[in-house]
Amino acid sequence: DGGITQSPKYLFRKEGQNVTLSCEQNLNHDAMYWYRQDPGQGLRLIYYSQIVNDFQKGDIAEGYSVSREKKESFPLTVTSAQKNPTAFYLCASRTSGSNQPQHFGDGTRLSIL
Protein backbone atom coordinates (compact mmCIF):
# COMPACT_ATOMS: atom_id res chain seq x y z
CA ASP A 1 0.00 0.00 0.00
CA GLY A 2 1.75 3.16 -1.16
CA GLY A 3 1.81 6.22 0.99
CA ILE A 4 3.56 8.41 3.51
CA THR A 5 4.22 7.26 7.05
CA GLN A 6 4.92 9.69 9.84
CA SER A 7 6.03 8.57 13.28
CA PRO A 8 5.47 8.88 16.09
CA LYS A 9 1.87 10.09 16.12
CA TYR A 10 2.41 11.89 19.43
CA LEU A 11 5.71 13.21 20.79
CA PHE A 12 6.66 15.07 23.92
CA ARG A 13 9.74 17.26 24.27
CA LYS A 14 11.49 18.36 27.41
CA GLU A 15 13.16 21.73 27.74
CA GLY A 16 16.52 21.86 25.98
CA GLN A 17 15.93 18.62 24.12
CA ASN A 18 16.16 17.97 20.41
CA VAL A 19 13.56 15.62 18.94
CA THR A 20 13.36 14.02 15.51
CA LEU A 21 10.18 13.37 13.57
CA SER A 22 10.24 10.60 10.99
CA CYS A 23 8.76 10.75 7.50
CA GLU A 24 9.00 7.84 5.07
CA GLN A 25 7.39 7.51 1.63
CA ASN A 26 7.19 4.58 -0.79
CA LEU A 27 5.64 6.57 -3.63
CA ASN A 28 8.98 7.08 -5.39
CA HIS A 29 8.45 10.83 -5.17
CA ASP A 30 11.40 13.16 -5.67
CA ALA A 31 10.13 16.10 -3.61
CA MET A 32 9.33 16.07 0.09
CA TYR A 33 8.04 18.79 2.42
CA TRP A 34 7.62 19.59 6.10
CA TYR A 35 4.82 21.84 7.32
CA ARG A 36 3.81 23.17 10.69
CA GLN A 37 0.13 23.66 11.54
CA ASP A 38 -1.01 25.61 14.59
CA PRO A 39 -4.60 25.30 15.92
CA GLY A 40 -7.15 26.75 13.53
CA GLN A 41 -4.45 27.82 11.11
CA GLY A 42 -3.21 26.88 7.69
CA LEU A 43 0.06 25.14 6.91
CA ARG A 44 3.40 26.92 7.00
CA LEU A 45 6.39 25.50 5.13
CA ILE A 46 9.42 24.64 7.25
CA TYR A 47 11.79 22.90 4.80
CA TYR A 48 11.52 21.14 1.48
CA SER A 49 13.71 18.91 -0.64
CA GLN A 50 13.44 18.42 -4.38
CA ILE A 51 16.13 15.77 -4.67
CA VAL A 52 18.33 13.56 -2.52
CA ASN A 53 21.13 15.41 -0.68
CA ASP A 54 19.54 18.78 -1.32
CA PHE A 55 17.02 20.85 0.66
CA GLN A 56 15.85 24.44 1.00
CA LYS A 57 14.51 26.57 3.82
CA GLY A 58 10.83 27.38 3.81
CA ASP A 59 9.10 30.28 5.51
CA ILE A 60 9.75 29.25 9.13
CA ALA A 61 13.01 27.23 9.14
CA GLU A 62 14.55 28.76 12.28
CA GLY A 63 14.93 26.18 15.06
CA TYR A 64 14.51 23.21 12.70
CA SER A 65 16.90 21.04 10.70
CA VAL A 66 16.46 18.31 8.09
CA SER A 67 18.43 15.78 6.09
CA ARG A 68 17.72 13.95 2.84
CA GLU A 69 20.17 11.06 2.60
CA LYS A 70 17.66 8.70 0.97
CA LYS A 71 14.87 9.34 -1.49
CA GLU A 72 12.35 7.66 0.79
CA SER A 73 13.19 9.52 3.99
CA PHE A 74 13.07 13.16 5.11
CA PRO A 75 13.43 13.43 8.90
CA LEU A 76 12.81 16.71 10.71
CA THR A 77 14.68 17.65 13.88
CA VAL A 78 13.09 20.19 16.19
CA THR A 79 15.99 21.72 18.05
CA SER A 80 16.09 23.40 21.45
CA ALA A 81 16.40 26.68 19.57
CA GLN A 82 12.75 26.39 18.56
CA LYS A 83 11.12 28.08 21.54
CA ASN A 84 7.52 27.36 20.62
CA PRO A 85 7.53 23.86 19.13
CA THR A 86 4.04 22.79 20.19
CA ALA A 87 2.18 22.16 16.93
CA PHE A 88 0.97 19.55 14.46
CA TYR A 89 3.68 18.63 11.96
CA LEU A 90 2.81 17.35 8.51
CA CYS A 91 5.05 15.73 5.94
CA ALA A 92 4.18 15.61 2.25
CA SER A 93 5.67 14.37 -0.97
CA ARG A 94 5.15 15.09 -4.64
CA THR A 95 6.21 13.56 -7.91
CA SER A 96 8.29 15.64 -10.28
CA GLY A 97 6.70 17.63 -13.10
CA SER A 98 4.37 20.56 -13.19
CA ASN A 99 0.78 20.60 -11.95
CA GLN A 100 1.14 17.74 -9.50
CA PRO A 101 -0.60 17.54 -6.11
CA GLN A 102 1.08 16.84 -2.80
CA HIS A 103 0.39 13.68 -0.80
CA PHE A 104 0.34 13.95 2.98
CA GLY A 105 1.09 11.77 5.96
CA ASP A 106 -1.16 11.73 9.02
CA GLY A 107 1.01 14.03 11.06
CA THR A 108 2.89 14.12 14.35
CA ARG A 109 1.58 16.14 17.27
CA LEU A 110 4.44 17.60 19.31
CA SER A 111 3.90 18.92 22.82
CA ILE A 112 6.15 20.39 25.50
CA LEU A 113 6.45 18.67 28.87
The SS3 call for residue 68 is: coil
71 lies in the binding site for another protein (CB under 8 A)? no
61 lies in the binding site for another protein (CB under 8 A)? no
Please tell me the distance from the alpha carbon of residue 23 to that of residue 41, in angstroms, as a whole number.
Answer: 22
Kindly state the smallest distance separating residue 68's Cβ from another protein, in Å. 14
Kindly state the smallest distance separating residue 31's Cβ from another protein, in Å. 6
43 lies in the binding site for another protein (CB under 8 A)? yes
Kindly state the smallest distance separating residue 80's Cβ from another protein, in Å. 27
Please tell me the distance from the alpha carbon of residue 83 to that of residue 28, in angstroms, as a whole number.
Answer: 34
11 lies in the binding site for another protein (CB under 8 A)? no
Q: By the 8 A CB rule, do 13 and 89 touch?
A: no
